Amino acid sequence: MRALRTVFTLMMLFFNHVLWSQTQVQTRYGDRLFVGELLLRVFGPDCKTIVEKEVFNKPHIFGGPCDPYSQRLVKVKEGYKTVGPREKCSESFFSQYRADLIVENSPLRSGAIAKVCQSLSQKKACLNHALKGIDKEKDSIEEIFRLFYPIGHERLLGEFKMAFEDVSRKKSIDHKFLLKLFCQSEEWQIL
Amino acid sequence: MKKDRRDFLHMGAGFFAFNPVDFLARNLCSLSESFCDESEGVENYLLFHLAGAPPRWLFDSPLQPRKSDKRVANPMIVTTFSEKEFNSSRDVEFEYRSTQVGKYLMPHLWSLPTSSSVTYQGQLSKLLDHALIIRGTRMGVDGHSINGRRLVAPNPNGPSITGLLADRSKKDLPAVGMTGSQYPVHVTSLGAFRSQKANSLILISKKSPDYFQELFHSFLEGAKGSQAEEELVEAILSRRDILRPQTVKARSQVKGLLKKDLEKLKAQYKKRFAKYEKIILESKLRRDLKGLTDKAIPGFEKERLTHSDQDNASFFLLDDYFLGDRDLRDALLSMELQGLAQQMALTEFLVVNGLSQTITIDLANPTKLNLDSGYHLDDFDIKKKSFHHKTRQVKIKEGKPKTFTFDSHGSGLIAHHLFSGIFYYTFANCLIEMTETFKEAKDKGGKNLYQKTLIHLASEFGREPRPDLMGSEHGFNGQLNTFLSGAIRDFKIIGNIFDTNKGTPATYYDIGTWGEGAPLDFFKRPLVYGNIASSICAMLGIPSPTPKDPPLVKVAQGQIETLTEECENVIA
């Protein structure tokens, strides 16, 4: 009887293990339009050139084909003019048109995010726009965090705060650093 | 009894909560790699996808591997120009000639000498020293897209072979792909990449002027913060529970890449690129390749031919034109194999430096052929096989007419033989250079990189010759796979084909031996692609996405061995 019980338990454990190991949650990352728009919203229109170069023009890293239907021809004096978010389709139109809808995370994506965040946080105009309205004297961790994570992510915020408590004893953390850190944290790209 | 049941439930709940089997399975791997070493297999997988499925009769498709095999000739299936001089277009003739490679007869091309800039000097057949050709796979359905995707993802609901490898990879770049053909990514093997652990295929576009720059752009240039600041960012972001595991993995791979001296690696890449550029240039311009470029090949000369002589006009067809230039070899002067040098250089670079182990290369067909004039197809009466007497030569338009499309429905014998022949010659030279480089690179255990690498040459399907000699159609029941690896002991051909096709689904019937798959005694049925996928997985030591289709090979003591020796031309 005892042996039977043990066999039954082991069988249940085995099935549990099989089912557990087959269950997976696929993480979906936002495409270049999602990532680029968010960065432009945070860092402002003056940073368009950097975002365009590092994000909008990299459909192979971030995914997101250009949408020809988002553009339309409008009659002007000299003929016709394309109106719409042209910058997202203009360069190498066909490769962007054929880009994947969804691209998962990769070292290239991580590298590109690290690079664009670094470039943006070193440009004064971008930095000023991002930190506009944030009191320099105050501890504004949450305010800066919310630039990238507008809603939810309470657990992540809590984890960051705990991390700051540990490191702030050794080093001072300024707003510029926080901005760069949250930008590089990458999780905001997840849909 | 009551107490026992409660105990049992407690114990069960406890086990379920902690899930010790899962815990052990997950953590033993991190304790020691030997617990997770799934099986011995080769490490690197390089798939060269000949997208468009060019005819491979003159390259790696052995239609008569032994003298005793019955081969029913078809005038469209040839391996050399005939030996006599061609004084006019009416003299142009072809032959099916073979050369002995190991214990098999292979197409004549393998007897040609290697290009002078290749490290190894000798015959092309050197590449087949460690090779396995599996012929006669029946794909069952037609179509470039479906069969192209099946090359890596044979099970539409499962992961791709490339995805499975990327999931297992500990390299900085889990999977890399390079576009090349005219097909959009989603209809080739590149688009079929599917991982189970959120890995993605890093794609390099054929339009990129510098593949290295495109791949490492984010790591090569750009603003950098102070070291102290970078360290602090890293200290915070590497804390447990802040980022999810796949983000942590990607970041650690970035760190790994940043640690490398990329500027030095860039110089190394450029050197490799220059080497392949030289090989390609030299290979395409050679004028001494017996049976291929060793004599002038006159274009079609309608004016000099009598009405009945125009029968062989079909030889000269390339899409909409019957080629009429004085010497058709001149078409090769400006021929471009877009991206090939960069593809070969980057593949070699990534493997030698241990940066990636899964690379998919989508090869481009020859373009920018130096073709000047010809006769337009519209002026040709296909029924009468002749031109109208007033027809004159016209200029060949720029663009597609100057391209040899691998999907060669409308390419006559000369285009089939000359343009695909020179492509294969060039490609084989590049492969020899790459395999020789791999042989030179040794690991700590003295094993060379070639023994740890599997090179797979594949296309969506084979090709059936058109009876009118004006091209070839999709031979979807005669797909061919060639594997090159130092782990393959010697040269072997397996797989049965019919001597001609009778009564099976095909575009044309009774057109001779072209490679249509015939049943194997080993399976009591013909090969299907699931068998090939399982064989690839067996060689790589990963679980097959098509486990119901058994493999044709096994790996024993680091050597790839075939489970069957069958290689027959079955009489239909």
- Domain assignment present for residue A119? The answer is yes
> Best-predicted range by mean pLDDT among A59-68, B439-448, B535-544?
B535-544
- Domain assignment present for residue B223? The answer is yes
**Mean pLDDT on B250-268:** 83
Distance CA B22, CA B471 (A): 57
Does the pLDDT of residue B38 top 50, yes or no? no
Q: Which residue, B402, B393, B418, B423, is CA-closest to B318? A: B402
Closest-CA residue of chain A to B187: A98
Q: Residue B33's pLDDT band (boundaries 50, 70, 90)?
A: very low
- For the segment B435-490, what is each residue's pLDDT rounded down to a tens digit? 999 999 988 778 899 999 999 999 999 999 988 888 999 999 999 999 999 999 99
Facing A105 at nearest CB: one of B25, B198, B222: B198
State how beta strands A79-83 and B491-494 pair.
unpaired
Cβ atoms within 10 Å of B234's Cβ, excluding its own:
14
- Interface predicted TM-score (ipTM) of this complex, two decimals: 0.72
- Domain assignment present for residue B31? The answer is no
Query: Closest approach of chain A CAs to the CA of B145, in angstroms?
Result: 15
> Best-predicted range by mean pLDDT among A153-167, B135-149, B491-505?
B135-149
**Mean pLDDT on B400-407:** 88
- Domain assignment present for residue B196? The answer is yes
- Which tokens belong to B356? 């990636």
For chain B, helix, strand, coil in percent to 5 are: 35, 20, 45
* Host domain of residue A45: 32-64+99-189
- For the segment B200-234, what is each residue's pLDDT rounded down to a tens digit? 788 888 888 899 988 888 777 665 667 777 778 87
The count of structural domains within chain A is 1
**Mean pLDDT on B306-311:** 64
Does the pLDDT of residue A22 top 70, yes or no? no
Interchain CB distance below 8 Å, A112 and B198: no
Does the pLDDT of residue B23 top 70, yes or no? no
* Contact (Cβ atoms closer than 8 angstroms) between residue B469 and residue B75: yes
* Contact (Cβ atoms closer than 8 angstroms) between residue B344 and residue B426: no
* Contact (Cβ atoms closer than 8 angstroms) between residue B108 and residue B292: no
* Contact (Cβ atoms closer than 8 angstroms) between residue B233 and residue A180: yes
State how beta strands B98-101 and B104-107 pair.
antiparallel
Does the pLDDT of residue B34 top 50, yes or no? no
- Domain assignment present for residue A104? The answer is yes
Helices (H), ranges, B286-394: 340-352
* Host domain of residue B103: 38-570
> Best-predicted range by mean pLDDT among B20-29, B95-104, B387-396, B499-508?
B95-104
CA within 13 Å, CB half, A125: 8
Query: Closest approach of chain A CAs to the CA of B1, in angstroms?
Result: 11
- For the segment B163-182, what is each residue's pLDDT rounded down to a tens digit? 999 989 888 888 999 998 88
State how beta strands B80-81 and B94-95 pair.
antiparallel
Helices (H), ranges, chain A: 2-22, 32-43, 48-51, 59-62, 93-97, 107-122, 124-130, 141-148, 154-168, 175-184
User: Percent of chain B beyond pLDDT 90?
Assistant: 62
Span of A60-64, B219-223, B362-366 with lowest mean pLDDT: B219-223
Write down the mean pLDDT value for chain A. Answer: 81
Interchain CB distance below 8 Å, A111 and B186: no
Q: Residue B98's pLDDT band (boundaries 50, 70, 90)?
A: very high
The count of structural domains within chain B is 1
- Domain assignment present for residue B14? The answer is no
- Domain assignment present for residue A43? The answer is yes
Q: Residue B308's pLDDT band (boundaries 50, 70, 90)?
A: low
At B437 the pLDDT is 97
Phi, psi of A98 (to 5 degrees): -95, 0
Q: Residue B14's pLDDT band (boundaries 50, 70, 90)?
A: low
CA distances from B259 to B131, B171, B514 (A): 37, 14, 52
Distance CA B222, CA B254 (A): 15
At B94 the pLDDT is 94
At A171 the pLDDT is 63
CA within 13 Å, CB half, B236: 29
Span of A164-178, B147-161, B166-180, B433-447 with lowest mean pLDDT: A164-178
Residues of A in contact with B16 (CB under 8 A): 12-13, 16
Distance CA B312, CA B468 (A): 10
Facing A171 at nearest CB: one of B172, B232, B239: B232
DSSP B304: G
At B245 the pLDDT is 80
- For the segment A90-136, what is each residue's pLDDT rounded down to a tens digit? 545 445 555 667 777 788 888 899 889 989 988 999 999 999 888 77
Write down the mean pLDDT value for chain B. Answer: 88
Query: Closest approach of chain B CAs to the CA of A49, in angstroms?
Result: 14
At B206 the pLDDT is 84
At A167 the pLDDT is 74
- Domain assignment present for residue A176? The answer is yes
